[in-house]
Homo-oligomer: A and B are copies of this chain.
């Protein structure tokens, strides 16, 4: 390996991946080019084919390489630019910034999902759901307003939980593993209720996050989160 190791104990497969990445950045291998096959690279790097395979799979998962059986491995022409971000537990996010966390429920009722929610979640219109509206505060300032629909039948024990006392976000994270999830970002102008609960002027631009999760029993929860003005969500590739 002709390579500066980030650490003395970096796995070989990662070193190989870094070397390949460098060659692509240096334009030794250019977009669309076919790179040497695994057997050749194994000789080049003094490694087993399995190790090279692991390294190349890594880069393919990142979108930097495209691999096809028999056809070989190519540098992606149009690298699918993937970014991942982790959905934080709100309380941790707030406390991490050194602020005091608080949570207040503004509404908790049983009812049926409005059409928009029913469509998004796929629940029947006559399925009784829990409707929860709550605000998360950092140092007394509104941080997020969440408008959530919950399906008490999806998770055993949920019916017994009092979401006035217990933070829904955290209870779900701990107790409701999901099979499928959906997430979307958008922007909306604050309506009257948003404005009131976030203590801002109506019409302010808000970052809106919609998140829905399902398990084998169907819908678990669907939530609309309105972030306080100026909030930024970061992602890393």
Contact = CB atoms under 8 A, between A and B. Distances in A.
Task: Identify the interface centre among A27, A187, A206, A216: most chain B CB within 10 Å of its CB.
Answer: A187
A174 interface: yes
A199 B188 CA distance: 17
A173 interface: yes
Interface stretch (A78-86, A96-104, A145-153): A78-86
Given A179-B25, A183-B235, A79 B205 contact: no
Given A82-B84, A83-B84, A177-B64, A215 B183 contact: no
A87 interface: yes
A83 B185 contact: no
A135 interface: no
A78 B84 contact: no
Nearest to A237: B181
B185 A79 contact: no
B77 A82 contact: no
Given A187-B207, A189-B205, A173 B234 contact: no
A184 B31 contact: no
Contact of A186 (B27, B181, B203, B232): B232
Given A25-B177, A186-B231, A187-B187, 12 more contacts: A21-B179, A24-B177, A25-B215, A27-B156, A63-B86, A78-B174, A79-B173, A83-B85, A181-B237, A185-B185, A187-B188, A187-B207
